[in-house]
Amino acid sequence: MGKFIKIYEDKPNEAAIDSVVKVLRDGGLIIYPTDTVYGLGCDITNTKALERIAKIKGIKLDKANFSFVCHDLSNISDYVKQIDTPTFKLLKRLLPGPYTFILPGNNNLPKEFKKKTTVGIRVPDNAIALEIVKKLGNPIVSTSIYDEDEVLEYSTDPELIFEKWQNIVDLVIDGGYGDNQASTIVDLSQGGDPIIVREGKGSIENI
C-alpha cells in the first residue's frame, strides 16, 4: 500500500520533499499536485518506473506522450534542441505556468524515448512539484490522472485520489485540492507560429 503525505504548497517541508525524492530514486511512482490537475510521475532515468506508468495507462512506452516536468528553463535545454530567441522569450514569459510546450527533442532523451522527435515540457507553477524536481536533480516523467466519472474528468480531492490509487502507486501527496482543468498544450516544434493542440487552463491570448 502506498504512503499518503501532506505537504503545504506555501512552505513545502524539506524532510517531506526528501522522502518523496527517495521514493522516486528507488523507482517508485508518485501522484503529486501541479498548477493544473494532479499528475502521476516517476524519475525520468528509471526504466522500470517508466514501464509501470505505461502499463497503468495501457500503452507501449515508446508510443507514450508523457510530459517532462522540469524545474526551470535551463533544465529544459538538457532535453530539447537549441531553441530560437522568439521561442525562448515565449517560454520565459509563460513558465512556470499551466502550459505544456511541445519542442524538438535532442540526443539526451532517455533511451526509452529515442524514437520520439518531440517532447512535451512542463514547468508547473506549483512549489511542491518544483521542489521535488529540483531536489531530484532531473525531470520527472508525468501524465495526468483521469477519473472514469463522466461528470468529473479529473480527480481533485487528494483523499479520494489516495483511496483509488493507494494500491497502484507508492506515494500520494496531499497538496490541497487540485484543479479540474488540464494544461494548455502548445506545439512549438514546427518552427513557425505556435499551434494550439489543446486549450486548457493556460490562456491562449498570452501566446
Crossing angle of helices 14-25 and 127-136, rounded to 10°: 60
Query: Quick one: pLDDT at residue 154?
Result: 67
What integer is the mean pLDDT of 112-132? 93
Q: For 154-171, what is each residue's pLDDT tens digit?
A: 678 999 999 999 999 999
CA angle 115, 116, 117 (to 5 degrees): 120
Please report which confidence band the pLDDT of residue 180 belongs to, taking 50, 70 and 90 as the band edges: confident
Alpha carbon separation from 51 to 42, 45, 75 (Å, rounded): 10, 11, 23
The most confident of 21-30, 61-70, 100-109, by mean pLDDT = 21-30
**What amino acid is encoded at 202 in this protein?**
G
Which one has a higher pLDDT value, 172 or 115? 172
Q: Are strands 195-198 and 184-187 parallel, antiparallel or unpaired?
A: antiparallel
98, 124 in Cβ contact below 8 A?
yes
Site of grid cell 512542463: 122
Please report which confidence band the pLDDT of residue 113 belongs to, taking 50, 70 and 90 as the band edges: confident
Q: Can you give the residue range of the structural domain that contains 141?
A: 3-206
Mean pLDDT over all residues of the chain? Answer: 92
Query: Quick one: pLDDT at residue 147?
Result: 58
**Of 20-24, 123-127, 152-156, 179-183, minimum mean pLDDT range:** 152-156
Q: How many domains does the chain have?
A: 1
Q: What is the percent of the chain with per-residue pLDDT over 70, rounded to a whole number?
A: 96
Beta strand spans in the chain (E): 3-6, 30-32, 39-43, 67-69, 99-104, 118-122, 140-144, 171-174, 184-187, 195-198
What CATH number does residue 153 fall under? 3.90.870.10
Residue 146 has pLDDT above 90, yes or no: no
Length of the chain: 207
Separation CA 41–CA 141 (nearest Å): 5
